[in-house]
Amino acid sequence: MGDEICDCETDEFVGKIRRGMLDDDTIFDIADLFKVFADSTRVRIMWALHESEMCVRGISKSLNISMSAASHQLKTLKDADLVASRRSGKQVYYSLCDEHIEMLLSTALAHIKEEKRWSASSRSRWTALTAPRR
């Protein structure tokens, strides 16, 4: 019984997987990208920017967060190349960098809405795990 080897353990299969694996730097870059998505305030800001270009004050009012909190999160999003800014007079407007960010947000939304994937009880456990801590 312990001698059985499944197809995914063969040298040929393992070699194929290893050849298709991304290099470590790329893996770390992807992990860092998803870390930015791990903060609910940043996701809310990106979703708002998915709807429209906005200034800090507009983001602050729309999301009911302080301007300081909005600015802090926008800096993180800019540093991760997820958000771009443009100046118009004294005002700075923010928008998502490109359509890839919109696709990530839309794909994430489609995934969590997929009823086959999550039962109601699983979803409530997930919500409890990911709820902002106070």
Q: Could you report the per-residue pLDDT of 15-68, keeping only the tens digit for each? A: 898 999 999 999 999 999 999 999 999 999 999 999 999 999 999 999 999 999
Single-letter code of the amino acid located at 128: A
Q: Is 126 part of any domain? A: yes
Contact by Cβ (8 Å): 73, 39:
yes
Q: Is 1 part of any domain? A: no
SS3 at position 114: coil
Of 4 and 91, the structure prediction assigns the larger pLDDT to 91
With a pLDDT cut of 90, the percent of the chain lying above it is 68
Binned at pLDDT 50, 70 and 90, residue 116 comes out as: low
Tell me how many degrees the CA angle 8-11-14 measures, rounded to the nearest 5.
Answer: 50
List the beta strands (DSSP E) in 5-120. 54-55, 83-88, 91-96
Judged against a pLDDT cut of 70, whether residue 97 lies above it is answered with yes
Q: Is 3 part of any domain? A: no
Q: Is 2 part of any domain? A: no
pLDDT of 26? 96
Range of the domain at 14: 8-130
Contact by Cβ (8 Å): 105, 91:
no
Judged against a pLDDT cut of 80, whether residue 5 lies above it is answered with no
Cα atoms in the Cβ-side hemisphere of radius 13 Å centred on 72? 7
Total domains in the chain come to 1
> Mean pLDDT, to the nearest integer, of 118-126?
63
Q: What is the residue-averaged pLDDT of the chain?
A: 88
Binned at pLDDT 50, 70 and 90, residue 120 comes out as: low
Q: Is 58 part of any domain? A: yes
Of 11 and 45, the structure prediction assigns the larger pLDDT to 45
